[in-house]
Structure 1
């Protein structure tokens, strides 16, 4: 499999063609590109984003021979949401089970997983009971534990009501990435958020501790620590204290990366992921087959 590919950076606010699967009466959308027999890769977005965050990356990795699956989380992008939108309907466990349902639907028994922010949290939850399905786990913009004031949920609703989706999109895009080319994409994602969905998910991910699930996972783990992601970096001390001594954990600094590092440190993120996957696949290959 090729290791690099030179392309122009294009950040269009567009989705991959959608395939749908239903789980517990929720219609989940995902994109699926690349050769069906290629190594499976999941690219999973964070809160208030959608699969369009990874459209360009999906095409890039697909051209290198990977089969790339890009879901829209429930209540995001083209995916639906439950008829009864109570708090439990947007728990980390439910979001995690959605991803596994997509994996079952595409026949992916084993796959590399990349999560940004909430996308990483979802995988951490799944590692406890489904770790063997993950060939590897990579994340950026994700801390494995977090405690934030609960008052933030009410403030979020008030801000959205006062500012409206268009202004939220413009300001949010500027705060999310320094890459001006990527801002229209971020703006499009933020304009389309369902604030009720977002606030319910915040009710679960504002206070969690999943470090133990990562510690018990014995597969390869990659964390990209992004230099411009100040809020997440401030919460990483407990995670790194537990994870850095572990032989299966790799920490790589991406100085120019923000919270959505694939949009503003695109080359670095892609290359780090490729290097990681290739090392994982090499280590899984029997010695006799390497000669």
Structure 2
């Protein structure tokens, strides 16, 4: 498992963790921005993504949520991070929700975007990755993925590059685990500051996220903020608003 670190070693630490079929490339510009504000930013590539190699053998737990969360705990240990401001997009939020339920002391705060607290999807979603890559081809699928992920044209090359480099077998293995989970209790049990950023154009995730948010009694440590122009990767299509909300949140944490 690979990660990069940007910023002064003794600065407050931030983790920017990407989603499924993405990578640390998603946050390169954001890491430079936050490092310039005085933070040390950790940019992990989850196993099987980006610069992190995929295990040669895929077993039942190779890509489980818990296994990937344990990877992130090992990264924090290696980086000497006692406590971090975690920002998770989609899968990057899911692994944080698992880890925070077991080791909440690692988190100074938790911010999520494009992440549902629970999912219950049919098993048929797991083989979708290899099927789509096989039918459309890697180049066309990467373009389609970028087009469907964001309305912001300048962000599409970044998303397309990450999708093009992704291994569909890894996607199938991870999907088999994340298609069905419930980590809401872990989030509710965390006493520290929580920020949920809701992208206005993140249609698929919002189908699961908004009903959950409506059921939750307002909590003093939670902030829910709408990003009307944000899609699934709000840092790429609502960049200034996304950065501003996080900076404000960390300052108050």
Q: TM-score, normalised by structure 2?
A: 0.97
Of 161, 182, 195, the match for 2:168:
195
* Counterpart for residue 38 of structure 1: 11
Of 208, 223, 226, the match for 2:181:
208
**Offset at 1:239?**
2.7
1:154-185 Cα offsets, whole Å, 9 max, x none, are: 23321111111101111111111111111111
Of 218, 227, 231, the match for 1:258:
231
* Counterpart for residue 61 of structure 1: 34
1:141-161 Cα offsets, whole Å, 9 max, x none, are: 001001111112223321111
8 Å Cα contact 1:211-1:242 kept in structure 2: no
- Measure, in 2, the Cα distance between the counterparts of 1:114 and 1:70: 10
1:37-71 Cα offsets, whole Å, 9 max, x none, are: 11000000000000000000000000111000000
8 Å Cα contact 1:244-1:250 kept in structure 2: no
Instruction: Calculate the aligned-residue CA RMSD, in Å.
Output: 1.1
8 Å Cα contact 2:128-2:172 kept in structure 1: no
8 Å Cα contact 1:91-1:204 kept in structure 2: yes
- Measure, in 2, the Cα distance between the counterparts of 1:69 and 1:265: 21
8 Å Cα contact 1:115-1:139 kept in structure 2: yes
* Counterpart for residue 85 of structure 1: 58
* Counterpart for residue 17 of structure 1: none
Of 83, 91, 103, the match for 1:118:
91
Question: 3-state SS of the aligned residue for 1:236?
Answer: helix
Unaligned regions of 5+ residues in structure 2, if any? none
Does 1:177 pair with 2:150? Answer: yes
Question: 3-state SS of the aligned residue for 1:87?
Answer: coil
Question: 3-state SS of the aligned residue for 1:218?
Answer: coil
- Measure, in 2, the Cα distance between the counterparts of 1:152 and 1:247: 36
Question: 3-state SS of the aligned residue for 1:228?
Answer: coil
- Measure, in 1, the Cα distance between the counterparts of 2:88 and 2:151: 21
- Measure, in 1, the Cα distance between the counterparts of 2:195 and 2:237: 19
Of 89, 107, 110, the match for 1:134:
107
Of 224, 229, 240, the match for 1:267:
240
* Counterpart for residue 13 of structure 1: none
- Measure, in 2, the Cα distance between the counterparts of 1:207 and 1:224: 22
8 Å Cα contact 1:243-1:249 kept in structure 2: no
Aligned residues, how many?
253
**Offset at 1:124?**
0.3
Does 1:161 pair with 2:161? Answer: no
Unaligned regions of 5+ residues in structure 1, if any? 1-27, 281-291
8 Å Cα contact 2:129-2:169 kept in structure 1: no
**Offset at 1:244?**
4.5
- Measure, in 2, the Cα distance between the counterparts of 1:259 and 1:128: 24
- Measure, in 1, the Cα distance between the counterparts of 2:244 and 2:182: 30
1:59-102 Cα offsets, whole Å, 9 max, x none, are: 00001110000000000001012232123100000110111111
Higher gyration radius (CA): 1
* Counterpart for residue 7 of structure 1: none
- Measure, in 2, the Cα distance between the counterparts of 1:83 and 1:154: 19
Of the structure 1 ranges 245-254 and 59-68, higher mean CA displacement relative to structure 2 is found in: 245-254
